[in-house]
C-alpha cells in the first residue's frame, strides 16, 4: 500500500486542538456552498472551499438547444446580472453567424449591461452588509436596487431574468420617453449610493474590522488568476471595458477604479466606486446614442454556424472577466459551449486569504471576493 | 408609505373596536353570565355582616367600590403584587414588550421599511403576541447528544436571573421588590450569573456553533464585568451607600451624570456588551456561527431566552437611570388628585356619590409622588433604551480581539479615571458630607 492516495481520501492525522467547522451549505454565512474551516482557537489554520451544490449543467444543456433557445437558460447562473452573463454568448454567436449589429442596439446593450452591473453589485453589497452585522446596509441597497430594476422592467418587461440580449441586437426598442426617466433615476441612484459612505464605508468600526484583513498582494492576485474588482483592489489596472473594448465601450470614457491595499476593505469599496462609474457610462451612452433606428437584425429561423468554427468572447461582468467559448460544427446547436466565470477564479484565492485569519474575519473576506456561488457552479 | 400601506381609516378602526366590544358582550351575556349565576347558585354562600351573600349581593360587591377598594389596597401592599405586577415582573415585561415593538418600528423607519404592519390592524402592534403564539406552538427539539437536564434548565435559569435583576430595581420611592442594603453588590452577583447560564446552555447542547458562541459570550461578559463594576464605584464613593433606593434618593437636586460623565459612558458601553447588542453581538454573530449559543434552542426555549434578554435590557437601562440619571427624581408634573372628591364625594345633581375606600388608597398607596416618580422613571428608562437600540441601525459587528482590547485596556483605564474624579470631588468637599449634598 505504498501508492499515494488522492488528497481527499488520505487519512488525516487528527490534532486535538483543531476543530473542523462546516460552514454551509445550510449556514447563514455561506452561499450555496460549503467552506470547510479548520480552526485553532479563534485562528483559521486551513480552509477548503467546496462549491458544486448548485451545479446545473448549463454548458451541457447548451449543446441540446439552438442558438436562440439557449438565451433564457444561459442567464440563469446570475439572474441579477443576466445581461452581462448573456453578453459574451451573444457577441460570440454574432461573430459565428456573421451578423452586423445596428449602432443603436449597441448603445442599448451598454446601458442594459451597466444597469445590470449596478443591480448585481447592490445585491452583493446588501449581503456584504449583513455579513458584517450591519442590517441597515442590508436594507438600503436592497431597496435602492428597485430603482434600476424598474428601469430594466421598462426596457425588457421582466424584473430580473430579462433575456433581452439576442444575437443581432436587443429584443425590443427602448420605450418612449425612456431617456428622461433613465437619467432621472440614475442621478437619484448615484446620489443615494454616495450616502452609503456616511453609514458604511466611513464607519470606523467597519474600517477597523476590514482593514489589513485578507490581504492579497499584487503578485498573488495575478498569480492566482483573480479578475474584476478583486484584481483592481490589489492594484492591477485591468478592466476589459478599457483593455478590450467591445461594442461601443471604446467610444465612451471608461475610468477604472484601482486601489492598492488589496485588503477586504479595498475589495468591498471597488465595486461601490464601479457603480458610480457605471452611472457615468450610462449618462454618456444616453447622450451619444442615436435617437432612432433599428435595434435588431432579424435572423432566419434556426441559424447555423459556417462549418467547424470556434469563437471566444469575454466581457467585464459584475464579478470580473466573463468569457464564453463557443465551438460550432455547422449544426443548429453549438458543438460545445464553455463559460469561464469570474466567481470561480476569485474563489481560488479564498484558502490563501483565510489562512491565519481570525474566524470573525471569515464572512468579510469570503464575500469581499465578489463571488457568486451559482455562477461558479454553472 | 401610502403605497405599501392598506387604506387605513380611523372610522374603520373604531368600527372594528365597537364590533369586538359587541361580540364580547354578546358572548359574555350568553355564556359567562349564566355560568357565574349557576356557580353562585350552587355554592353555599357565606354570611357577611349579618346578611347572606346572595348572587345579587355578590354582584353588588363587584360593583361597589366601597367594598372592593380596600381589597385592592390590601392586595397592592402585598409582596405578591410587588413581585408579579408593579415594580417586578409584569411592569418589566410590559416595558420589554414595548421595547421590542419600538425596536422593530424604529429600525424599520431607519432602514426605509415599514416593519410589522398587518398584525393587529394598527402598525403591527400585535406582532409580538403572534410571535409568542408561534414560539409556544412550536415543537421543542433537543439535540440527541445534549446533556438534557442542563439544556432544559438553562433558558429557565436565564429568565430567573433576569427577573432577579429586575427585582432589585427601585422604580418609585418605596416601590422596590427587594430593598437590599447591599443592592449594588447584589446586582453584581446577579450579573455574574449570566455567563454561567450561557456557558451551561452552550456546552450542554454538545454542538460546535453553540460552543463557540458560548465561549465568546463567556469572554465578553467576564472581561466587561470588571470595567462595569469599576465604573459604578464612583457613584458608591460619592453617595457612600450601596442601597439602590438611597442612591436614587440622593440625586434629588442633580443626577450623578453631571459629575461622573466618564463613568456613565463606560457603564453604557459595558452595558451594550453585557446585553450582547450590536456592535457587541459576537455571541450571536449570524454570519460566522449561525446564532451562537442560541443555535440549538427551539420553540419556547428560544422564546424564554429572548424574554430574559429583554428583561435584562430593561434592568440595565433602569440601573443606568437609578445610578446616573436620578431615578424617580424630576419635576412634579402630575397634578395632585382633588382629594375633596374622595372625602366629600362627587355632586351629581341631586345625588352626591361618595366612594368610601378611595381616600386611603390615594393617600397611602397610589400617591402623587408614586405616580410622578414612576412617570419620570419610565421616561428616563425609555430614553436610555432608545440609545441602546440605536447602534443596531448604525454599526456593524466588531471582532472578538477588538472587543477584548477595548474592554481590558481602554474601558478599565477610563473607569479608573472616573474613580479618581469621584475621589477628587469627595476630597475637595464638592460632594459627600459637607458638600453640595
| pLDDT tens digits, B124-161 | 888 888 888 898 888 888 888 888 888 888 999 999 99
Q: What is the pLDDT of residue A132?
A: 87
In a domain, A17, yes or no: no
Mutate to test the interface with A, among B110, B392, B399 (most CBs of A within 10 A): B399
Q: Which residues contact B263 (CB under 8 A, 6 or more apart)?
A: B231, B232, B234, B235, B256, B324, B415, B418, B421, B422
Give whole-number Cα distances, B271 to B220, B383, B387, in Å.
11, 15, 11
Measured between beta carbons, the chain B residues lying within 8 angstroms of A362 are 288
pLDDT per position as a tens digit, A313-368: 989 888 888 899 999 888 888 888 998 888 888 888 888 888 888 888 888 888 88
> Which chain A residues touch B if contact means CB-CB below 8 Å?
19, 21, 27-29, 42, 129-140, 143, 199-200, 203, 205-206, 208-209, 358-363
8 Å CB contact between B217 and B206: no
Q: A354 — phi, psi (to 5°)?
A: -80, -20
Contact state of B286 with A28 under an 8 Å Cβ cutoff = yes
Cβ partners under 8 Å of residue A254, min gap 6:
A239, A241, A242, A245, A277, A281
Q: Which of A196-200, A213-217, B50-54 has the lowest mean pLDDT?
A: B50-54
Q: Do B402 and A209 touch (CB under 8 A)?
A: yes
CB burial class (10 A; 0-12, 13-18, 19+) of residue B193?
Answer: middle
Does any domain span residue A43? no
The CATH number linked to A109 is: 1.10.645.10
What does the pLDDT read at residue A10? 66
Q: Residue A373: inside a domain, yes or no? A: yes
Query: For A158-162, B67-71, B210-214, which range has the lowest pLDDT when averaged over its residues?
Result: B67-71
Determine contact: B279 vs chain A, CB below 8 A: yes
Mean pLDDT for A126-145 is 89
Chain B from 282 to 341: CB within 8 A of any A CB: 282, 285-290
Asked if the structure places residue A12 within a domain, the reply is no
Chain B residues touching A29 at Cβ < 8 A: 286-288, 290
CB A221 within 8 A of CB A231: yes
A199 contact residues in B (CB cutoff 8 A): 394
Task: Please give the model's pTM, rounded to 2 decimal places.
Answer: 0.83
CB–CB of B311/B163 below 8 Å? yes
| Nine-digit cell string for A182 | 433613465
Using pLDDT thresholds of 50, 70 and 90, give the confidence band for residue A188. Answer: very high
Q: CB distance B288–A363 less than 8 Å?
A: yes
Q: A–B: how many Cβ contacts below 8 A?
A: 83
User: Cβ A358–B287 below 8 Å, yes or no?
Assistant: no
Percent over 90 (pLDDT), chain A: 13
Specify the pLDDT at position A58: 87
| Residue A212 pLDDT > 60 | yes
B393–A136 CB contact, under 8 Å: yes
Q: How far apart are CA B435 and CA A324, in angstroms?
A: 82
- In A235-348, which ranges are E strands? 308-317, 320-329, 336-340
Q: For residue A294, what are the domain limits? A: 58-377
Q: Which residue has the higher pLDDT, B395 or B287?
A: B395
| Mean pLDDT of all residues belonging to chain A | 87
B231-261 residue pLDDT tens: 888 888 888 888 888 888 888 878 888 888 8
According to the model, what pLDDT value does residue B4 have?
Answer: 52
Average pLDDT, chain B: 84
Query: Which range among A107-111, B93-97, B270-274, B360-364 shows the weakest confidence by mean pLDDT?
Result: B360-364
Given a contact cutoff of 8 angstroms between Cβ atoms, the answer to whether B329 and B248 are in contact is yes
Query: What would the pLDDT profile of B94-132 be if each residue is shown by its tens digit?
Result: 888 888 898 888 888 888 888 888 887 777 888 888 888
The residue that leads in pLDDT, B251 or A118, is A118
Q: Is A91 within a domain? A: yes
Residues of chain B contacting A135 with CB distance shorter than 8 Å: 107, 111, 278, 392-393
Cell numbers representing residue A368 in the block: 469581499
Euclidean distance between CA atoms B103 and B185, whole angstroms: 31
Handedness of CA B132, B138, B142, B148 (dihedral sign): positive
Interface contact flag, B287 A132, Cβ < 8 Å: yes
* B410 close to A (CB below 8 A): no
> Residue B1 pLDDT more than 50?
no
User: pLDDT (tens digit, 9 = 90+) per residue, B410-420?
Assistant: 889 999 999 99
Please name the member of B113, B209, B400 whose beta carbon is closest to the beta carbon of A139.
Answer: B113
Assess B134–A contact: CB distance below 8 Å, yes or no: no
Per the structure, the count of domains in chain A is 1
pLDDT for B316 equals 92
Cell numbers for A217, please give them: 498582494
How far away is chain B from the Cα of A27, in angstroms, using its nearest Cα?
6
Amino acid at each position: 500500500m505504498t501508492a499515494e492516495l488522492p488528497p481527499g481520501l488520505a487519512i488525516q492525522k487528527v490534532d486535538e486542538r483543531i476543530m473542523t467547522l462546516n460552514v454551509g451549505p445550510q449556514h447563514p454565512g455561506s452561499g450555496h456552498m460549503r467552506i470547510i474551516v479548520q480552526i485553532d482557537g479563534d485562528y483559521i489554520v486551513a480552509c477548503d472551499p467546496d462549491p458544486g451544490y448548485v451545479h446545473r449543467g448549463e454548458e451541457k444543456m447548451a449543446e441540446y438547444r439552438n442558438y436562440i433557445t439557449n438565451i433564457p437558460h444561459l442567464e440563469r447562473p446570475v439572474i441579477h446580472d443576466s445581461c452581462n452573463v448573456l453578453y459574451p454568448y451573444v457577441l460570440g454567436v454574432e461573430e459565428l453567424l456573421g451578423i452586423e449589429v445596428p449602432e443603436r442596439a449597441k448603445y442599448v446593450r451598454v446601458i442594459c449591461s451597466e444597469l445590470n452591473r449596478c443591480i448585481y453589485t447592490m445585491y452583493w453589497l446588501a449581503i456584504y452588509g449583513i455579513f458584517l452585522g450591519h442590517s441597515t446596509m442590508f436594507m438600503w441597497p436592497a431597496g435602492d436596487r428597485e430603482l434600476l430594476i424598474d428601469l430594466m422592467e421598462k426596457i425588457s418587461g421582466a424584473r430580473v431574468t430579462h433575456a433581452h440580449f439576442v444575437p443581432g441586437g436587443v429584443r425590443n426598442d427602448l420605450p418612449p420617453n425612456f431617456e428622461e426617466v433613465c437619467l432621472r433615476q440614475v442621478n437619484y441612484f448615484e446620489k443615494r449610493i454616495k450616502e452609503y459612505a456616511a453609514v458604511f464605508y466611513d464607519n470606523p468600526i467597519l474600517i477597523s474590522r476590514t482593514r489589513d484583513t485578507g490581504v492579497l498582494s499584487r503578485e498573488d492576485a495575478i498569480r492566482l488568476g483573480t479578475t474584476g474588482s478583486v484584481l483592481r483592489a490589489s492594484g492591477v489596472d485591468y478592466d476589459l471595458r478599457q483593455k478590450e473594448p467591445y461594442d461601443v465601450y471604446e467610444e465612451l470614457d471608461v475610468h477604472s477604479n484601482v486601489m492598492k491595499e488589496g485588503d477586504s476593505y479595498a475589495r468591498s469599496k471597488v465595486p461601490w466606486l464601479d457603480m458610480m462609474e457605471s452611472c457615468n457610462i450610462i449618462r454618456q451612452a444616453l447622450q451619444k446614442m442615436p435617437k432612432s433606428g433599428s435595434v435588431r437584425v432579424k435572423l432566419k429561423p434556426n441559424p447555423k454556424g459556417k462549418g467547424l468554427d470556434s469563437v471566444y468572447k469575454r466581457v467585464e461582468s459584475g464579478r470580473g472577466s466573463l468569457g464564453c467559448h463557443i465551438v460550432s460544427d455547422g449544426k443548429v446547436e453549438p458543438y460545445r459551449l464553455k463559460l469561464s466565470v469570474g466567481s470561480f477564479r476569485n474563489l481560488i484565492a479564498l484558502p490563501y486569504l483565510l489562512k491565519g485569519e481570525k474566524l470573525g474575519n471569515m464572512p468579510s473576506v469570503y464575500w469581499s471576493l465578489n463571488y457568486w456561488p451559482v455562477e461558479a457552479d454553472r | 408609505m401610502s403605497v405599501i400601506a392598506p387604506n387605513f381609516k380611523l372610522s374603520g378602526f373604531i368600527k372594528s373596536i365597537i364590533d369586538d366590544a359587541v361580540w364580547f358582550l354578546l358572548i359574555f351575556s350568553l355564556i359567562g353570565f349564566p355560568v357565574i349565576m349557576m356557580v353562585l347558585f350552587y355554592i353555599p354562600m357565606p354570611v357577611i355582616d349579618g346578611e347572606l351573600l346572595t348572587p345579587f349581593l355578590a354582584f353588588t360587591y363587584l360593583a361597589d367600590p366601597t367594598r372592593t377598594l380596600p381589597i385592592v389596597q390590601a392586595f397592592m401592599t402585598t409582596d405578591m403584587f410587588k413581585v408579579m405586577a408593579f415594580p417586578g415582573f409584569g411592569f418589566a415585561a410590559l416595558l420589554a414588550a414595548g421595547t421590542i415593538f419600538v425596536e422593530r418600528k424604529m429600525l424599520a423607519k431607519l432602514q426605509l421599511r415599514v416593519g410589522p404592519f398587518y398584525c393587529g390592524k394598527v402598525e403591527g402592534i400585535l406582532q409580538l403576541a403572534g410571535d409568542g403564539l408561534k414560539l409556544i406552538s412550536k415543537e421543542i427539539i433537543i439535540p440527541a447528544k445534549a446533556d438534557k437536564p442542563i439544556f432544559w434548565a438553562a433558558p429557565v435559569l436565564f429568565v430567573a436571573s433576569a427577573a432577579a435583576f429586575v427585582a432589585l430595581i427601585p422604580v418609585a420611592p418605596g416601590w422596590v421588590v427587594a430593598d437590599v442594603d447591599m443592592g449594588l453588590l447584589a446586582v453584581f452577583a446577579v450579573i455574574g450569573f449570566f455567563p454561567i447560564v450561557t456557558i451551561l446552555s452552550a456546552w450542554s447542547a454538545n454542538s460546535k456553533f453553540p460552543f463557540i458562541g458560548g465561549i465568546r459570550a463567556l469572554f465578553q461578559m467576564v472581561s466587561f464585568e470588571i470595567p462595569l463594576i469599576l465604573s459604578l464605584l464612583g457613584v458608591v464613593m460619592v453617595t457612600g451607600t450601596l442601597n439602590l433606593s438611597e442612591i436614587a434618593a440622593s440625586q434629588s437636586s442633580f443626577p450623578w451624570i453631571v459629575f461622573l460623565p466618564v463613568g456613565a459612558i463606560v457603564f453604557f458601553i459595558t452595558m451594550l456588551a453585557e446585553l450582547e447588542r450590536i456592535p457587541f453581538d459576537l455571541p450571536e454573530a449570524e454570519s460566522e456561527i449561525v446564532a451562537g449559543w442560541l443555535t440549538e434552542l427551539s420553540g419556547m426555549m428560544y422564546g424564554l431566552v429572548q424574554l430574559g434578554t429583554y428583561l435584562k435590557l430593561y434592568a440595565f437601562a433602569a440601573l443606568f437611570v437609578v445610578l446616573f440619571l436620578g431615578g424617580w427624581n424630576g419635576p412634579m408634573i402630575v397634578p395632585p388628585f382633588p382629594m375633596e372628591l374622595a372625602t366629600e364625594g362627587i355632586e351629581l345633581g341631586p345625588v352626591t356619590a361618595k366612594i368610601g375606600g378611595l381616600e386611603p388608597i390615594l393617600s397611602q398607596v397610589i400617591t402623587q409622588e408614586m405616580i410622578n416618580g414612576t412617570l419620570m422613571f419610565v421616561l428616563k428608562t425609555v430614553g436610555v433604551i432608545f440609545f441602546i437600540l440605536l447602534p443596531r441601525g448604525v454599526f456593524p459587528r466588531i471582532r472578538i480581539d477588538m472587543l477584548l482590547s477595548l474592554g481590558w485596556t481602554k474601558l478599565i483605564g477610563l473607569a479608573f479615571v472616573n474613580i479618581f474624579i469621584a475621589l477628587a470631588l469627595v476630597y475637595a468637599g464638592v460632594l459627600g458630607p459637607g458638600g453640595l449634598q
